[in-house]
Structure formats: structure tokens, C-alpha cells
Amino acid sequence: MRNKKKTQESENIVLLPETEEVLSPQKAKKIELVVVFHLEVPEAKAQAILEAAGFPYKEGAAGRGKIYFYSTGPTFIVTFDTKKQQKELEKTHKKTPEIYEMWERDKSKRKD
């Protein structure tokens, strides 16, 4: 009888295939990155750069004060599904002179 119980329990175990990081869109927490461009970069050019990267984005504010706002250009919030996608954009950041800086959005500290 003991062996039958183990067999029945083992039949209920379902092994899932390995996933990258995201199991379902409903439960997945999106990763957001704030991208700030230099002051002299026009908004249309900044949008073209982000569209070429291929990730969804929206306009945003840096949330670092008035002096920072007036000394930098357009600010956008880029959304990723995985950390791997975030790393891809961060690599291109080093090669893109129009981008001033990037950081991961944290709503708990301050509104970005």
C-alpha cells in the first residue's frame, strides 16, 4: 500500500519547461528604465532612437528637480519584459552619444 501512495503522489507532479524569467503577462512585473537625452537632442530624434531600439516607451519626467530638468533634454520611460532586454539597451547606451543617462525606475522612492 505504501508503494501505491508514492506512485499516486508522483503522478500529480508536473514539471514545467524552463522559462527565461516571465511566466505569464498578468503576473509579470514590467521592468522600466528612465532614459534621459542631452539638452541639444530634439524630441523627434530621441523618439527615432528609441523606436530603432524596438522597445515600448512613453514620455516621462526625470523627477530629479528643476535644475536637472532644465539642464537635460527629453526624458522617456522604456518598458521591458526581461532583464535580458534591459541589458541589451544598456549596451547600446554606451554607443549612443545622444543619451545622457539611464536608470531603473523606482516608484517607491520618487516619481520618475
Report d(CA 30, CA 105) in Å as an integer. 10
**Element (H or E) spanning 33, and its range?**
strand 31-37
Question: Which of the pair, 28 or 58, is modelled with greater confidence?
Answer: 58
Tens digit of each residue's pLDDT (9 = 90 or more) over 56-108 = 999 887 677 677 777 888 999 999 888 888 888 888 777 889 988 888 877 66
Candidates 80, 79, 81; CA nearest to 21 is: 81
Q: Which residue matches cell numbers 522559462? A: 19
Spatial CB neighbours of 109, under 8 Å, sequence gap ≥ 6: none
Spatial CB neighbours of 77, under 8 Å, sequence gap ≥ 6: 32, 33, 34, 35, 57, 58, 59, 60, 105, 112
Check: CB of residue 62 under 8 Å from CB of residue 14.
no
pLDDT of residue 25: 47
Rounded alpha-carbon distances, angstroms, from residue 75 to 10, 41, 64: 53, 11, 12
Instruction: Read off the pLDDT of each residue in 38-45 and give the average, rounded to a whole number.
Output: 93
